[in-house]
């Protein structure tokens, strides 16, 4: 990351810099402000993909970005985003200055734990209302620190199917279809299914069912939520259907599983 050889070095540089927002936008494929020709800025530009993807040209190199990816362009770096506007596209575009901070080169990372998105959501709310420059500056500094930490930790973007898996994990309560997933990484349904089986050993819907059941098990063991509430939280509209699927997967009803797990935990504790 530029001349920085460690996270500690990067953190010191970030702490000593002065951050200032130039502009902060959230827009989709219907917006008329997309720039499809090579361009650069005299400030940093951060792009976060809320939906969709892009092939990005950076002179002689290029990179692919999609759901939950963050791209940070340093000042004066020429770049071009090639998007498929006929598909759904939604991004955060944050432009800012960082006086005293040397440009680290382009940064491309995957926000696997949704930390960057959480910061951007909070910052966007602040930018849309009070626009307190001190608060915005602190948001920017924290964003820079998280990006630097993840860079040195090696959180590089992963296989396209990993994006689908992450999308499913972060949207368990929503209706998720093969069509949505195939559009997410812009492949056909059949090719998505083939890639998914190669990557995980199961189809997309088998994987989705597995993580929903795993999430339900965790909620049954760690909360007092009703079965109906848990069913909704993990993406089942019908508690009866959820109970049927859960029994098929575990051999127990949700209530039986909760009681059995509670008894086992009590027994383990008594033995210690």
CATH number for the domain including 71?
A: 2.60.120.280
- Note down the domain range covering 104: 7-153
51 shares its domain with 128 = yes
Mean pLDDT of 34-41: 86
For the chain, what is the largest distance between any 2 Cα atoms, rounded to a whole number of angstroms? 68
Residue 155 has pLDDT above 70, yes or no: no
205 shares its domain with 136 = no
133 shares its domain with 213 = no
Domain count along the chain:
2
Average pLDDT taken over every residue of the chain: 86
143 shares its domain with 199 = no
- Helix axes of 204-222 and 189-200: crossing angle, nearest 10 degrees: 60
135 shares its domain with 237 = no
The two beta strands, 90-99 and 18-28, are antiparallel
Q: What pTM was estimated for this model as a whole?
A: 0.67
In this prediction, residue 266 carries a pLDDT of 44
Residue 219 has pLDDT above 70, yes or no: yes
Domain's final residue, options 102, 119, 153? 153
Which of 91, 77, 70, 74 is closest to 143 using CA atoms?
Answer: 70
Cβ atoms of 56 and 71 within 8 Å: the answer is: yes
58 shares its domain with 39 = yes
145 shares its domain with 169 = no
């Amino acid at each position: 990351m530029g001349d920085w050889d460690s996270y500690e070095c990067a953190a010191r540089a970030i702490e000593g810099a002065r951050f200032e927002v130039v502009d902060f936008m959230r827009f989709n494929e219907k917006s008329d402000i997309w720039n499809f020709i090579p361009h650069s800025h005299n400030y940093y530009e951060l792009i976060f993909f809320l939906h969709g993807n892009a092939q990005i040209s950076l002179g002689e190199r290029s990179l692919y970005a999609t759901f939950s990816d963050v791209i940070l362009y340093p000042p004066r770096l020429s770049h071009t985003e090639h998007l498929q506007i006929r598909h759904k596209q939604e991004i955060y575009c944050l432009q800012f200055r960082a006086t005293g901070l040397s440009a680290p080169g382009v940064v491309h990372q995957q926000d696997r734990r949704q930390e960057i998105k959480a910061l951007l959501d909070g910052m966007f709310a602040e930018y849309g209302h009070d626009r307190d420059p001190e608060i915005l500056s602190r948001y920017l500094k924290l964003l820079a620190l998280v990006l630097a930490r993840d860079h040195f930790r090696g959180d590089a973007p992963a296989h396209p199917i990993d994006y689908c898996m992450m999308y499913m994990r972060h949207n368990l309560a929503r209706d998720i279809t093969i069509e949505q997933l195939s559009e997410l990484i812009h492949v056909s349904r059949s090719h998505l299914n083939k890639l998914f089986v190669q990557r995980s050993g199961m189809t997309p819907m088998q994987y989705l069912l597995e993580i929903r059941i795993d999430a339900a098990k965790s909620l049954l063991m760690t909360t007092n939520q009703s079965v109906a509430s848990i069913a909704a939280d993990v993406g089942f509209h019908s508690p009866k259907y959820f109970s049927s699927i859960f029994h098929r997967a575990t051999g127990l009803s949700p209530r039986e599983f909760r009681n059995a797990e509670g008894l086992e935990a009590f027994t383990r504790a008594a033995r210690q």
